């Protein structure tokens, strides 16, 4: 699901979720499909993941949330959607950076 989300294959992400894939499964580094879709700039995939229960504030091992990732990569439309779904603007990662500082 992570690779499909990173590549923006929204229909495949939806299919995998429908087949029981966990949208919040994390890599060894703690990244999720939502992080991947945010980095790749795939708004439709982000929406599918959020609409199927992805945790908007789940952080990686370095405490980056999907909002940190979207801010780092300049994904303004995705930032807006994450905020609509309750992303915390004031969360900080392991080096003390908020999403705003990463933008």
What residue ranges define each of the domains in the chain, with the CATH number in brackets? Answer: 2-102 (1.25.40.20)
Whole-number CA gyration radius for the chain: 12
Place of tokens 């779904």: 85
Q: Look up the pTM and report it.
A: 0.96
**Mean pLDDT of all residues in 67-73:** 97
The CA-based dihedral angle spanning residues 87, 68, 72, 28, taken in that order and rounded to the nearest 10 degrees: -130
Alpha helices, H only, the chain: 2-7, 10-18, 33-40, 43-51, 66-72, 76-84, 99-102
Q: Cα(83)–Cα(54) distance, rounded to whole angstroms?
A: 14
Q: Could you read off the pLDDT of 10-50 as tens digits, one per residue?
A: 999 999 999 999 999 999 999 999 999 999 999 999 999 99
**What's the token pair of residue 42?**
């795939």
Helix (H, G, I), strand (E, B) or coil at 13: helix
Q: What's the confidence (pLDDT) of residue 103?
A: 85
């Amino acid at each position: 699901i992570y690779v499909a989300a990173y590549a923006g294959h929204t229909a495949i992400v939806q299919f995998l979720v429908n087949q029981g894939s966990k949208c919040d499964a994390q890599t060894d580094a703690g990244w999720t499909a939502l992080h991947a879709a945010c980095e790749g700039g795939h708004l439709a995939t982000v929406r599918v993941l959020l609409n199927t229960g992805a945790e908007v504030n789940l952080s990686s091992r370095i405490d980056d949330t999907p909002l940190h990732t979207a801010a780092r990569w300049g994904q303004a439309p995705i930032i807006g959607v994450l905020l609509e779904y309750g992303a915390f603007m004031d969360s900080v990662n392991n080096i003390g950076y908020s999403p705003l500082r990463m933008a």
